[in-house]
Amino acid sequence: MDGEGNKKPWDASQLRKYDLTFDEIPRLHYKDPKIDEYIRANKPVVIIESNIIKPALQRWTLEYLEKNLGQTGHTCFVSKNHQFKYYDDKKIYDKTNNTKGVEFTPPTKKVEMRIEDFMKRVKEWKKGDDRIYLQQSLTTSVGNNIVEDFVKFDWDYVNGKQAKHNWGPLTSNLLFIAMEGNQTPCHYDEQENFFAQVQGYKRCILFPPSQFECLYPYPVHHPHDRQSMVDFEHPDNAKFPKFKDAKGCEAIVGPGDVLYIPIYWWHHIESLMRGGPTTTVNFWYKGGPSTLEYPLKDHQKVAISRNVEKMLLEVLQDPKEVGPLLSAMVLGRYT
Ligand SMILES: CCC[C@@H](CC(=O)O)C(=O)C(=O)O
Ligand SMILES: [Zn+2]
């Protein structure tokens, strides 16, 4: 039961177990001015009872989406397990064209799938089958009904926040349709994000940029740039000794909840096990102008460290030389 004695729509058995504890991300009514204090402080908050995606809440069942999403192929990822770790295929070493990059075997396959084929695979899925995850930009060709719903989102509200907090332009709205239990492992994005839950429940575990040293991101040149190297379910504590000290927060978002994920904040997101398929729409905005005021913000230090890695690779050319040079510069001198 929740605080008011209502039956909770999910229970703890639907959450994967991690050896970490999390504070709860606050949930505020969309008219609450404290929301702006959180956004101004680059802190996550769940915005509740808004009309941000109201038309989607009213109409976007899987049947409606199947009928109206459009006959073109939609971008889907196929995985042998429940994890869908993002990779940048432009950073994969391509033998044939001898491009720069690293030898890399993608953990998921990116395919274009018709919506009815996607829905069929979700409905007919059984244990042991590959999992799939539709992740489609809403700015490409979708059916007219979806466009109609989309234009009726509460753009005044989200654009009002964008303006008030001096964010950059909206770059995309992605539609996510996940199978129950699908997981997007811990990573950060270089964009502000309103993460709007349409159907089903997702557990969102977030860590501030200051936790960089506990979450061990891949090198910037790696296809898994911005992703944590730690497998949360089987952490290698010898290789990642600080992971056990990571301090995070979490929110279980359900229909109508909109989670503000601040730029550079780590997030690990999963559709609850045995909770059925989930649908989410996100709003990605470029970050605002970054003035160097001291003390620097943690996310600014992450941005600086990224530039150092990029510059070193640019001059050294060989990724294998970046680590040894950084170690020679730091070990015994700065540590
Ligand atoms: C492809 C990324 C999807 C999403 C996580 C999820 O809902 O599975 C996320 O990480 C984001 O919106 O930034
Ligand atoms: Zn993300």
If you search the block for the tokens 């979490």, which residue do you land on?
250
Say what the pLDDT of residue 283 is.
Answer: 98
* ipTM given for this complex: 0.99
pTM of the complete model: 0.96
Verify whether ligand 1 is closer than 6 Å to residue 195 (CB atom).
Answer: yes
Counting ligands in written order, the one closest to the CA of 195 is 1
Residue 250 Cβ contacting ligand 1 at under 6 Å:
no
CA of 5 to the centre of ligand 2 (A): 33
CA dihedral angle for residue 110, residue 240, residue 300, residue 323, rounded to 10 degrees:
-90
Amino acid letter, residue 48: I
**129 token code pair:** 């089958």
Start-to-end Cα distance in the chain:
50
Task: Give every CB contact of residue 48 below 8 A, 6+ residues apart in sequence.
Answer: 27, 28, 29, 30, 256, 257, 258
Range with the poorest average pLDDT among 26-35, 136-145, 245-254? 136-145
Q: Is 249 exposed, middle or buried (0-12, 13-18, 19+ CB in 10 A)?
A: middle
Average pLDDT over residues 197-223: 98
Whose CA is closest to atom 2 on ligand 1?
A: 184
Question: Strand, coil or helix: what is 130?
Answer: coil
Mean pLDDT for 254-261 is 98
pLDDT in tens, 288-332: 998 899 999 999 999 999 999 999 999 999 999 999 999 999 999
Q: What is the CA(195)–ligand 1 centre distance, in A? A: 8
CA of 209 to the centre of ligand 2 (A): 13
DSSP per-residue string spanning 175-194: EEEE-TT-EEEEE--SEEEE
Question: Is the alpha carbon torsion for 108, 110, 115, 121 positive or negative?
Answer: negative
Give the tens place of pLDDT for each residue, 148-169: 999 999 999 999 999 999 999 9
Residue pair 88/94 in contact (Cβ under 8 Å)? The answer is: no
The CA distance from 108 to 183, in Å, is: 12
Segment (H or E) for 64: helix 62-68
Ligand nearest to the CA of 174: 1
What does each C-alpha distance from 8 to 1, 126, 198, 274 come to in angstroms?
5, 27, 17, 15
Q: Rounded to whole angstroms, how far apart are CA atoms 217 and 102?
A: 16
Classify the C-alpha dihedral 240-85-248-24 as positive or negative. Answer: negative
Q: Which residues contact residue 167 at a Cβ distance below 8 angstroms, ignoring those fewer than 6 apart?
A: 161, 192, 285, 286, 287, 288
Residues 6+ apart with CB under 8 A from 81: 131
Q: Which residue type sits at 331?
A: L
Taking the CA of residue 176 as reference, the ligand 1 atom at the shortest distance is 7
Does 136 contact ligand 1 (Cβ within 6 A)? Answer: no
Q: Which atom of ligand 1 is nearest to the CA of 195?
A: 12
Decide if pLDDT at 252 tops 70.
yes
Residue 49 to residue 73: CA distance in whole angstroms: 33
pLDDT for residue 270 is more than 70: yes
Query: Ligand 1, residues 82, 195, 253: which to mutate, most atoms within 8 A of Cβ?
Result: 195
C-alpha 20/C-alpha 102 separation (Å) is 32
Cα-to-centroid distance, 184 and ligand 1 (Å): 6
Joined together, the tokens standing for residue 162 give 């964008």
Cβ neighbours for 1, distance < 8 A, ≥ 6 positions apart = 7, 8
**Cα 140 to ligand 2 centre (Å):** 20
pLDDT score, position 6:
80
Return the ligand 1 atom nearest residue 133 CA: 8
193 Cβ closer than 6 Å to some ligand 1 atom: yes
What's the CA gap between 142 and 65, in Å, rounded?
10
Cα 331 to middle of ligand 2, angstroms? 33
